[in-house]
Amino acid sequence: MNKRDIEFEILRYNPETDEKPSFQTYRVPCQEDWVILDAINYVKDEIDRTLSYRWSCHMAVCGSCGMMINGEPTLSCKSFLRDHPDRIRIEPLSNFPIERDLITVMDDFMEKLGSVKPYIVPNEDRPVDEGEHRQTPAQLADFKQYTACINCLLCYAACPQYALNEDFVGPGALALAHRYNLDSRDVGREARADVVASNAGIWECSFVGACSQVCPHDVDPAGAIQQTKIASTVDYFKALLMPWRN
Amino acid sequence: MSRRPYVREVSRSWWWLNQRRYVGYMIRELSCVFIGAYTAVIVVSLMRLSQGQAAYEGFLDALWGPVGLAFHIVAFVFALYHTTTWFNVTPKAMPLRLGERRVPGGAIIGAHYAGWLAVSAVVLFLAGD
């Protein structure tokens, strides 16, 4: 197996001793078939056990190991070393406060995610013995793409609107709101609209499109937000022109 | 152990220089200025047209000056950028499905270009001698 020495500049921050974050460089003997996460694990296991970061599945499913790799929001388990030069800069995800080293504070996202009711709001409580809620393949195809979201927050790290306005609900939560709005079993669209169609919701997005470019599962949050804008505008004009239907 | 999260400040003026895709976005936003300016030129040209032949021809002569020519070239480049970048994101805002299958994004974008060509051909036909 080909080996290559790679220098990793990793942003470190210890809230107990550091005034501000600073870079620390580690030289790692890497194998070419490694992903970035393997090299960071090597640092943790063999060089510096004080390094803190999140990871779990190592296969782009859990969404824990997102970080800025040479300035790009990336899942470190999905980014192969063979695609990188001999010096790689690793930082915690942008647009989130740093808790420690590569670990960010995700509380803001969690709160916003909850605010869009990211679950099926059923029309009526059906007893289990009445059987399953059936959907046609076409109804499933309406929203299936958006179910692939793993809450990795790469889209938030890529979004300049979220960087500039902390009130912005953000791409991930809005894409999940769209996912449930499109679900034939759900009637929660109106309940979500207070947050989704507010100024801090879809209308704060100016369609930079970076969220969709960095999404590791092609969820396309930018598309979801633009489609929600259109649906919300149609709702507005329907209410305006046909008030008797309100 | 005490929590003391560190917040990294983002420059409110220069954030768009951080990534190339942000620069591309800002150019797309800036292109609106030139689209608006060219629309204003058309409105003024209609106003001059309504004032008679001499006024209109004087206006056209002024457009052929160096400033008018430079403006048209720059506005044309920005109009092309504006059009192509917006066409390229239309499948996101207006996805189409035929039954359970999604219409490929390339087909939606291609249809926009075809429409653009068709409208341009009609305009050229009407404007021709």
B11 touches chain A (CB under 8 A): no
Predicted confidence (pLDDT) per residue in A169-182, tens digit: 999 999 999 999 99
Start-end of CATH 1.20.1300.10 domains in chain B: 15-88
Average confidence (pLDDT) over B70-80: 96
Q: Residue A39: name the closest of A94, A79, A99, A92 by CA.
A: A79
Predicted confidence (pLDDT) per residue in B22-57, tens digit: 999 999 999 999 999 999 999 999 999 999 999 999
Under 8 Å CB pairs connecting chains A and B tally to 77
**Architecture of the domain spanning B15-88:** Up-down Bundle (1.20)
SS3 B112: helix
* B91 contacts A160? CB cut-off 8 A: no
* pLDDT surpassing 70 at residue A156: yes
A149 backbone dihedrals φ, ψ, rounded to 5°: -60, 130
Give CA–CA dist A181/A179, Å, rounded.
Answer: 6
Q: Is A68 in contact with B18 (CB distance < 8 Å)?
A: no
Give me the residue label for tokens 């388990």: A77
* pLDDT surpassing 80 at residue A79: yes
Q: Compute the nearest-CA separation of A32 from chain B (Å).
A: 27
Q: Compute the nearest-CA separation of A1 from chain B (Å).
A: 35
Instruction: Locate A228 and state its tokens.
Output: 């929600």
Q: Is A115 in contact with A136 (CB distance < 8 Å)?
A: no
Average confidence (pLDDT) over A68-80: 98
Average confidence (pLDDT) over B82-86: 96
Largest CA distance in chain A: 72
* pLDDT surpassing 70 at residue A242: yes
SS3 A64: coil
SS3 B84: helix
Q: Compute the nearest-CA separation of A138 from chain B (Å).
A: 5
Instruction: Locate A54 and state its tokens.
Output: 């999140």
DSSP code for B122: H
A97 touches chain B (CB under 8 A): yes
Nearest to B10 among A98, A164, A222 (CB): A164
- List of domains in chain A: 3-104 (3.10.20.30), 107-245 (1.10.1060.10)
pLDDT at B1: 62
A156 touches chain B (CB under 8 A): no
What stretch of H or E contains A224? helix A221-241
Q: What is the ipTM metric for this complex?
A: 0.90
Predicted confidence (pLDDT) per residue in A4-26, tens digit: 999 999 999 999 999 999 999 99
Largest CA distance in chain B: 83
Average confidence (pLDDT) over B96-122: 92
Residue A126 — very low, low, confident or very high, per pLDDT cuts 50/70/90? confident
Q: Is A67 in contact with A74 (CB distance < 8 Å)?
A: yes
Give CA–CA dist A153/A217, Å, rounded.
Answer: 12
DSSP code for B73: H
Give CA–CA dist A148/A145, Å, rounded.
Answer: 6
B4 touches chain A (CB under 8 A): yes
Residue B2 — very low, low, confident or very high, per pLDDT cuts 50/70/90? confident
Give me the residue label for tokens 């909850």: A114
Q: Compute the nearest-CA separation of B118 from chain A (Å).
A: 26
Burial bucket for residue B128 (CB in 10 Å: 0-12, 13-18, 19+) = exposed
Report the percentage of chain B scoring pLDDT > 90.
88
Q: Is A208 in contact with B26 (CB distance < 8 Å)?
A: no
A228 touches chain B (CB under 8 A): no
Neighbours of A188 (CB within 10 A): 19
Instruction: Locate B103 and state its tokens.
Output: 């219409």
Mean pLDDT score across all residues of chain A? 95
B91 touches chain A (CB under 8 A): yes
A15 touches chain B (CB under 8 A): yes
Instruction: Locate A168 and state its tokens.
Output: 């912005």
Instruction: Locate A174 and state its tokens.
Output: 């809005």
pLDDT at A1: 66
* A95 contacts B10? CB cut-off 8 A: yes
* B19 contacts A226? CB cut-off 8 A: no
pTM of the full predicted structure?
0.93
Question: Hey, of A226, A228, A234, which one would you mutate to test binding to chain B, going by the most B CBs within 10 A of its CB?
Answer: A226
pLDDT at B129: 64
Residue B128 — very low, low, confident or very high, per pLDDT cuts 50/70/90? confident
Give CA–CA dist A61/A66, Å, rounded.
Answer: 11
* A227 contacts B95? CB cut-off 8 A: yes
Residue B77 — very low, low, confident or very high, per pLDDT cuts 50/70/90? very high
